[in-house]
Structure 1
């Protein structure tokens, strides 16, 4: 979520309960798999994409360091993103969040550096959900219309549009200028004399004023620049609870002090002041969930966020990425997501959930389409890429998530994680190649890449708030590898290095294959453990598995080793040969990544064998001809 991710789950005991049992009957996922191909999401930090300014001064202003605009996503730019093998584009940082820039002539109040992270502000401290970040517009007065035009342009170029919604918290100074008629701001009708009421939008610390936290580690807002509002004062009386759940009127520097927590009808002692879903309702579809809530009284915050989501759906947005979804009760998600699905059954709903014991509740009860597969697949692959883990640890993850594998979105980068090419992660973009093949092909789940990942961007700029290794989401900055590809907005790689273009070609080949493959929406079986036990020279730096459908059979092998070739005779177990209806004999295999090499699958006595030689970081996607 772009903050120091310390998850103070105030109500975690209420939310977690017992770990739900796994079932193999995931009706929604199975229906989805039958009617769709693989999904590939391109996450782009909107204000950075079109910025061609290369100054990169720490704490630089918009005039010094530049900023990208909605209009920078031209037809040419969107065509190139689509042709990379992308189906959905997640425009990060669209809703109007706090920024340190004077827009008062447009009726926008100034934001206080004491409660804003960075100069350009965190996209997860939203100030106005009914408008968009003024930095992103060429004409600030028409900023909403410029975003609407971007949505239409994206659709015209074959891309579905995702934006963020952050239900757990809002900016401390939330104030909407463009609320639809009859819509009130968060907190407008709150009783601030009490810590909690079910229809209060916030939690309060009665009779105590908010205090700006003590800044640590030499931090100074705006890097110490003089600013009329940077005075360690912020008027909030009474103080509200902070976004991560801190109840102190003076939050800690590592709390999410720029935000306030939204109240969903859970009292400070954990009591739920709303109806709970009936037993067994996790197996019901979104229509049943929608009907369940129709005659129920729900907390005011539920209605406000539902209306926000439907507002953007009406403007053509195709889905949402929900920040820190597990900090909001699952019943709200049932209410919210079923309402969205009634308007757009194909809406793409992705949630940030890091507690595996909650996965099935948030998918089945909360009606999420997808969750991040971070703490299992991402963390495991990262360890392998860093030379600290074994490929042996990957198959058990797929087994554990078997019943929800379709719902667990895979990624190797996003705005919260370190860039692969940074020294703090892998220091070499080629280390991502086997990891990307595995991540993109091991399940039916969507794949996500972060803008610049396909070019090996290393996130080394010291933009101001935060530190290098992650491309800053808090400040005005350039993204050098991407800027070389953008090439003065020609979007043709004209300034890219040979290595960057070769890496992008790899991503393009892989992603386009995944969105066209029947087998990748079909069945999976691990053959890694079988080969670990039976194959000479096959080790824990290699991973193999098979994927198949009625029309396509694939053998996928990846080498995570940085040095030395791996030669072995990969064995295909007899049960796979039987399932594929293969008789003894020879069958041709063709690599789908580079379509140059051909291999032979030799089936004898019901077992298959393929002689392979893998170079460092090489993968094969071998298709049975």
Structure 2
């Protein structure tokens, strides 16, 4: 991995990216609504994603998961509809850890070959490839038909008469049948039977999951006894540990470059500390990204779990969302980096992903433009990775009711669907802007500009960071609740970054304290010429501790003023 490179991840929901059907029906089947394929990621499509500034692409939903689509003619067992969410199914209810989802293949029988070709195309486009690893839970009807010879299936050797055993892969409720408030009956398939019931994926250790639970999944057993309070049984390493390590090695062997590990904190940190070093011993360049939401566990999963990067969700994402919505002051951003200052390089910033509501949705900002200052902050604030979600750069609102997903401001992960903005940008494989409106074009150009600056400017890719907010509080020259300012410095270059969360064009003056010049070892100038990186224009400004730097900043925008000395 090039440590001088700032990682920019383009997350894409693989099933939806290439679907060109403009008339999908709510809760439609594969035959009715269609489905995107791995082959839709053509060299041209990948080239355009690379030109957006991406260094990595995260193909979400690649592993074979439970679905209501019938693939029995390909030797794939049919899933009971009562334990599948949506017609397409959740990509986080894994049906077979060793298989590619058949929905994504043009030729289902050659789906693994199509995946391997996708790896090659991705690398040929100058991108690195990330896929999901879902370690905490699997589909209720998990069964691997693609596992390598000699591999024992999950649960195949379990003693189902025991609620917990370190040698079991699942947790059981002996003598109890799966019940609860979930409708387990389907007119065509009949009743879904599970006896004994298994514990549900979101740590529901009884036989009665509700519709609000992850009822379509079962919890994997990593040696933690949730039933008898006998603690953790990690020595010798439980059977599940070995099985999951082998799955990681299997996919690493396909040439991928990283794993985004779903709900990593629901799996004991001890497993990660055991498995990741073994995988990296064979594939040292592989990166591991953890979905972790508990700040108290951040350092544990980094230092003991050996993860490379963690989601910065409950800190920076939640704060920027509140600032965008007008519910928090821009001064709150300072506490975000301060709380993770010692591990900042390991935090993954984002404003959208498949779990979160779209910025342009009525449930978030209602207007994608409002998030542009937040993009400047999250992308340019430090050297750590930045991620965007496909369609974010086009202002995709996610306001359709696709089926199981409902109308919730998110792009569905459960249904067969087509994304309007992506479909028009695709333009039948041309990947141009002919069918985009002026606002969408402007947004995409802005994203492309900012994301490319992340690596074309050394000060952003690997420079020092200095927060200027403490020197700009309670003044009349800058509204600290609506503007956020900081410096990035590398070698003989410094960039003054100012983001404006206000809906008004503003004339502000930014105080740059003497401490900034001392700390960053910068010369002061009464007057100097700065290049504004977003427009390419030059501006004459003051840059010294005695005279505030006067700047005109656009509404919902910002400036990056680069000074060379």
Which TM-score bucket, shorter chain as reference?
A: over 0.9
What SS does the corresponding residue of 1:35 show, helix, strand or coil? coil
What SS does the corresponding residue of 1:297 show, helix, strand or coil? coil
Partner of 1:228: 188
CA contact (8 A) 1:38 1:445 kept: yes
Work out the CA distance in 2 between the residues paired with 1:535 and 1:274: 61
| Equivalent of 1:325 in 232, 248, 264 | 264
The higher relative CO (CA closer than 8 Å, separation ≥ 6) is in: 1
Work out the CA distance in 1 between the residues paired with 2:253 and 2:11: 22
5 Å matches for 1:174-193?
A: 174-193=142-161
Work out the CA distance in 1 between the residues paired with 2:306 and 2:492: 31
Give the CA deviation at 1:214. 3.2
| 1:255 equivalenced with 2:223 (yes/no) | no
Work out the CA distance in 2 between the residues paired with 1:212 and 1:102: 27
CA contact (8 A) 1:115 1:212 kept: no
Q: Deviations 1:25-44 (Å, cap 9, x if unpaired)?
A: xxxxxxx8x93221000000
| Equivalent of 2:45 in 67, 72, 77 | 77
| Equivalent of 1:171 in 139, 148, 158 | 139
Partner of 2:33: 65
Structure 1 segments unaligned to the other structure (5+ residues): 1-31, 276-295
Work out the CA distance in 2 between the residues paired with 1:106 and 1:551: 61
Partner of 1:544: 485
Partner of 2:383: 444
CA contact (8 A) 2:164 2:172 kept: yes
Partner of 1:293: none
Partner of 2:562: 623
Work out the CA distance in 2 between the residues paired with 1:537 and 1:125: 49
| Equivalent of 1:211 in 174, 179, 197 | 179
Partner of 2:292: 353
Work out the CA distance in 2 between the residues paired with 1:245 and 1:602: 56
Work out the CA distance in 1 between the residues paired with 2:14 and 2:89: 13
5 Å matches for 1:59-138?
A: 59-138=27-106
Partner of 2:200: 242
What SS does the corresponding residue of 1:379 show, helix, strand or coil? helix
CA contact (8 A) 2:270 2:304 kept: yes
Give the CA deviation at 1:568. 1.9
Give the CA deviation at 1:486. 0.5
| 1:591 equivalenced with 2:532 (yes/no) | yes
Partner of 1:480: 420
Partner of 1:430: 369
Partner of 2:514: 574
Give the CA deviation at 1:584. 4.5
Structure 2 segments unaligned to the other structure (5+ residues): none
Partner of 1:396: 335
| Equivalent of 2:495 in 545, 554, 557 | 554
5 Å matches for 1:483-498?
A: 483-498=423-438
> So what's the TM-score if we normalise by structure 1?
0.87
Instruction: Select between 132-141 and 57-66 the one with higher mean Cα deviation.
Output: 57-66
Work out the CA distance in 1 between the residues paired with 2:244 and 2:554: 51
Work out the CA distance in 2 between the residues paired with 1:270 and 1:389: 42
What SS does the corresponding residue of 2:225 show, helix, strand or coil? coil
Give the CA deviation at 1:370. 0.7
Partner of 1:7: none
Q: Deviations 1:584-603 (Å, cap 9, x if unpaired)?
A: 43222111122124242343
| 1:387 equivalenced with 2:334 (yes/no) | no
Partner of 1:410: 349
What SS does the corresponding residue of 1:320 show, helix, strand or coil? strand
Work out the CA distance in 2 between the residues paired with 1:59 and 1:167: 28
Give the CA deviation at 1:537. 3.8
Work out the CA distance in 1 between the residues paired with 2:250 and 2:506: 55
| Equivalent of 2:237 in 298, 301, 308 | 298
Distance 1:584 1:621, change over 3 A: closer
CA contact (8 A) 2:405 2:415 kept: no
Aligned residue-pair number? 560
Partner of 1:16: none
CA contact (8 A) 1:114 1:212 kept: no
| 1:376 equivalenced with 2:334 (yes/no) | no
5 Å matches for 1:457-468?
A: 457-468=396-407
Give the CA deviation at 1:274. 4.1
CA contact (8 A) 1:99 1:120 kept: yes
What SS does the corresponding residue of 2:472 show, helix, strand or coil? helix
Work out the CA distance in 1 between the residues paired with 2:316 and 2:124: 34
Work out the CA distance in 2 between the residues paired with 1:133 and 1:258: 17
Give the CA deviation at 1:297. 2.6
Work out the CA distance in 2 between the residues paired with 1:227 and 1:486: 39
CA contact (8 A) 2:524 2:543 kept: no
What SS does the corresponding residue of 1:454 show, helix, strand or coil? helix
